[in-house]
Amino acid sequence: MTKQKTIFISADHGLSVVYFLQTDVLPTLLAGGVEVVLLTDDGLREQIERRFGQPGLAVEGLRFRQCREYFEKRDHSLQHWLHFLRWMGGSKR
């Protein structure tokens, strides 16, 4: 028995979401039996589901507000340094 593959795509800006949804990428993935989970801004979620919703596509919010609250309230110093390392860790300087 083959397990269905799932792809997670994070697109949090209005234009990146629309560009992605209007290309042939999504229909190609869905036709290939891949489940696509689109992670986007919570405020865009319902609009995207109404306009582009179809079987195999799940639209989920990124929960930015809750992430910010966690960042600010939970071990803030540790969160600050983790954020710094994530952003600077890929630098070639």
> In the 8-state DSSP scheme, what is residue 74?
S
Those residues whose C-beta lies under 8 Å from the C-beta of residue 12, and which sit 6 or more positions away, are: 39, 40, 41, 62, 64
**Local structure of 18: helix, strand or coil:** helix
Is the whole model's pTM more than 0.75, yes or no? no
Residue-wise pLDDT for 27-85, tens only, equals: 999 999 999 999 988 888 899 999 999 999 999 988 878 877 877 787 778 878 877 88
Q: Given pLDDT bands bounded at 50, 70 and 90, which one contains residue 90?
A: low
Say if residue 12's pLDDT is above 80. Answer: no
Spans of all domains in the chain: 1-62, 64-93
